Amino acid sequence: MKIATMTTLCYSARDKEEKTSALEAVRRLHAAGFTYIDLNLCGMVQGHQCSFVQDDWKSEVQELAKEVKRLGVTLHQAHLPYYHISYIYDEENREFNALFDKMMRRAIELCGMLEIPCAVVHNYDLPEGDQKAHIEENLKRFGEYVELANQRGIRIAFENMRNPKRFCSKTEDLIALTEAFAPKNVGICWDFGHGQINYQEDHAKAIAQLKDRICAVHIHDNNGKNDQHHPPFIGTVAWEEVLPALRRANYRGCLNYEIGVNKTVPDLLRDEMIRYCFKAGEYLVKMFEGTAQ
């Protein structure tokens, strides 16, 4: 079992307006000990001046691929853009819809170029409707993206949502949705922060229900109420319960952080925070493996 992190761990800083490039993030994360990295592509549709949004994006990908090879880093998963303006697809917002489609296709293509095997997405909701209606909506919206990804050897993972009123906030929705995509290569990303908000003391039981379906994880902590994306052990997640549950669910991927704490940390302190997260991650691995003291 390996510890990994999304590039969000050094995407933002308290005293900087610009976002850290994917290239710089990989270098800084590697310097702190990380050799397995999750590429954050969410900013591609959020108006950020971030990597891969300009016309020369393929040159950026090629440069990143060379650096990853030089450092001996594995890009083991990515987070594709999500429809951040609303949970519900807005047919009238043609300008954003065109941008979203363009960047989703670009993100899938660059994941293929970088040989990233798994990419996480957020589902769509409907204003109203039962589980069947929500599944049909997501088959419609994601069908072509899943096909494009699978053609490039990429498995799409639907993430559990934090809002308990949303479709896919519960395990039964995730199971039904992934089964509806069969035989496409689709799995589940378990977000521990979202799981903590929705399941609390039943968190481990929820993970158990997803046995053999979890192909990616987002590791972060919170107070059980807010989606704070804190490092582990700075919140209420019972890691000594949920990590063994993840092991029993036959999870074989990395323990992958989705931590955003560095957006409140000055740039001069970011590397120290990254190093702490790496050390905490080493302990998480021991908890997963049942060897922690």
pLDDT score, position 11:
82
Q: How many CA atoms lie within 13 A of 64 on its CB side?
A: 25
Rounded distance between C-alpha atoms, residue 10 and residue 50, angstroms: 13
- pTM of the predicted model over 0.85: yes
Using alpha carbons, list the distances in angstroms from residue 129 to 30, 49, 125.
Answer: 45, 37, 9
Residue type for position 51? S
Q: How many CA atoms lie within 13 A of 254 on its CB side?
A: 24
225-254 residues labelled b (16+ CB within 10 A) or e (exposed): eebbbbbbeebebebeebbbbbbebebebb
Rounded distance between C-alpha atoms, residue 151 and residue 12, angstroms: 33
pLDDT score, position 255:
98
Q: Which residue has the tokens 């040989």?
A: 115
Structural domains in the chain plus CATH codes? 3-289 (3.20.20.150)
What is the enclosing helix (H) or strand (E) of 103? helix 94-113
Rounded distance between C-alpha atoms, residue 270 and residue 241, angstroms: 30
Q: Which residue has the tokens 């039904």?
A: 176
pLDDT score, position 124:
97
Using alpha carbons, list the distances in angstroms from residue 10 to 16, 52, 178, 266.
Answer: 11, 17, 32, 11
Tokens found for residue 177 = 């949705």
Give the rounded percent of residues in the chain with a pLDDT score beyond 90.
Answer: 88
Radius of gyration of the chain, Cα coordinates, nearest whole angstrom: 18
pLDDT < 50: residue spans in the chain: none
Q: Read off the pLDDT of residues 9-63 as tens digits, 9 standing for 90 and up.
A: 988 778 777 788 999 999 999 999 999 999 999 999 987 768 999 999 999 999 9
Tokens found for residue 244 = 């063994």
What is the enclosing helix (H) or strand (E) of 156? strand 155-159
SS3 250: coil
